[in-house]
Amino acid sequence: MKKLNLMTALALSAFVAACSTAPGNYLDTSNLKEEKNTQPQKQYDVHLITSQLVMDQAQAAVAARNTAIPPSKYASTADYTYHIAPQDILGVTVYDHPELSTPQGSTFSSGGNTTQTVGQALKQPYTTALPGEADPYGQTVAKDGTIYFPFVGRVKAAGKTPGQLRDQVASGLGPYIKNPQVDVRVLAYRSQKVQVTGDVKTPGPLAMSDVPLTLVDAITRSGGTTDGADINRVRLTRNGKLYVLDANALLDGGDTSQNVVLQDGDIVNIPDRNDSRVFVMGEVKTPTQTTLIRGKLTIADALTTAGGILDTDANPRQIFVMRGMKDNPTQPEIYRLDMTKPDAIMLSSQFQLKPLDVVYVGTAASATFNRVLQQILPTVQTVFYLKQLTR
């Protein structure tokens, strides 16, 4: 008996010693001092996923999308009117008086190596300002918002529409020209612009013109989005405030409220899909991360992407969705789906996940017990064989 105890002690000593001499990487924690957590453990409310919860979340998503619309000067594109501002270049035509009109066929240098006509300048797309800094034959609106015109003098142009300025110039020419016929147009839109950044093919500034510029127009005129763009979370910065718009709701669902009319100084950012990830963990065949598909992903989609739950180890009553850790890490929202219920399959295909959600599949009690056995069984077998050898 003493011999058996001695052999058992030697085996356990060898086992413990092997932990520190076993090959491979390991961390020596003897020099680490971990602070004990003295805070009481928090308890979190778990919401059971039901059909009513799915309906409530769908309505809340629509309401949140509507409240994200930024305040605008224009209710629709029909209300949009371009107003002249400093740095705009104007062309003024007085019919039957070419000496007072902007030359239509004259060439001008734009300050670089390019020479073009005013007609060519008019044909330039609104996204491209005139190259160089030199002005064409035309009236450049000064910093104080005025232009100088013969016989009329200094005229306030900023804040006016081309039609309003036309009437003012015609009125000023009245004492000198009988019934003057005047036309005013913008040769170059230089004063107002919108910045488009992020995952578009041609990021950069877009000039505001007499044609209203909407969100979809800005994306289209920037060459469209790249493959990794997330148009469900388009970020619009206006007057120092950030708004998140869903361009996909417009393209797929016809929600025209998301196609806002842009204004001077707006910054449109098309983000990538890094923040649209969903993590699937726990007792699934292939723990993975996936991204929302056009802004949508259900529990069923996520579990299918991970290969489904493990038949022997997963607890189908514990399909958890953990949400809100990024914005509020101390108070996450936790939802649970019981896959043993008859309506669970329907609910799993209707409950919409949000960016950075974590889907976690719990472990069955029998699987936990089996894993404990797998850990202690080699030790028990070793002791048994030592006992047999010492007989």
Sheet containing strand 89-94, strands side by side: 139-140, 89-94, 182-188
Please state whether the predicted TM-score (pTM) of the whole model is above 0.85. no
Q: Which of 66, 171, 88, 95 is nearest to 136 (CA)?
A: 88
Q: Which of 85, 70, 73 is nearest to 209 (CA)?
A: 85
Q: Which of 315, 278, 244 is nearest to 70 (CA)?
A: 244
SS (H, E, C) 354-371: CCCCEEEEEECHHHHHHH
CATH superfamily of domain region 192-272: Outer membrane lipoprotein wza domain like (3.10.560.10)
Which fold does the domain 46-58+275-368 belong to in CATH?
Outer membrane lipoprotein wza fold like (3.10.560)
In the 8-state DSSP scheme, what is residue 324? Answer: -
- pLDDT (tens place) for every residue of the chain, 391 residues total: 555 555 555 555 555 544 555 566 777 887 888 887 777 777 888 889 888 888 888 888 777 766 667 888 887 888 889 999 999 989 888 888 888 777 654 433 333 333 444 444 444 443 344 333 344 567 889 999 999 888 888 999 999 999 999 999 999 998 988 899 999 998 888 899 999 999 999 999 999 988 899 999 999 999 999 888 888 889 999 999 999 888 888 887 778 888 899 999 999 999 988 888 899 999 999 999 998 887 788 999 999 999 999 888 888 899 999 998 777 777 888 999 998 888 888 888 889 998 889 999 988 877 666 666 677 777 767 776 777 777 6
**In b/e form, how buried is each residue of 144-155, taking b as 16+ CB within 10 angstroms?**
ebbbebeebeeb
Domain range 85-187, its CATH number among 3.40.47.10, 3.30.1950.10, 3.40.190.10, 3.30.70.20: 3.30.1950.10
SS3 349: coil
Q: What is the distance between the alpha carbons of residues 232 and 215, in angstroms, rounded to a whole number?
A: 12
| Per-residue model confidence (pLDDT) at position 372 | 67
In the 8-state DSSP scheme, what is residue 301? Answer: H
And the tokens for 76?
A: 């629709």
In the 8-state DSSP scheme, what is residue 80? Answer: -
CA quadruple 19, 20, 26, 32: dihedral sign = positive
Q: Which of 204, 189, 211 is nearest to 87 (CA)?
A: 189
| Residue 91, beta-bridge partner list | 185
Identical topology for domains 46-58+275-368 and 192-272: yes
| Per-residue model confidence (pLDDT) at position 135 | 47
| Per-residue model confidence (pLDDT) at position 373 | 66
* Size (the chain), residues: 391
Domain boundaries in the chain?
A: 46-58+275-368, 85-187, 192-272
SS3 136: coil
| Per-residue model confidence (pLDDT) at position 390 | 73
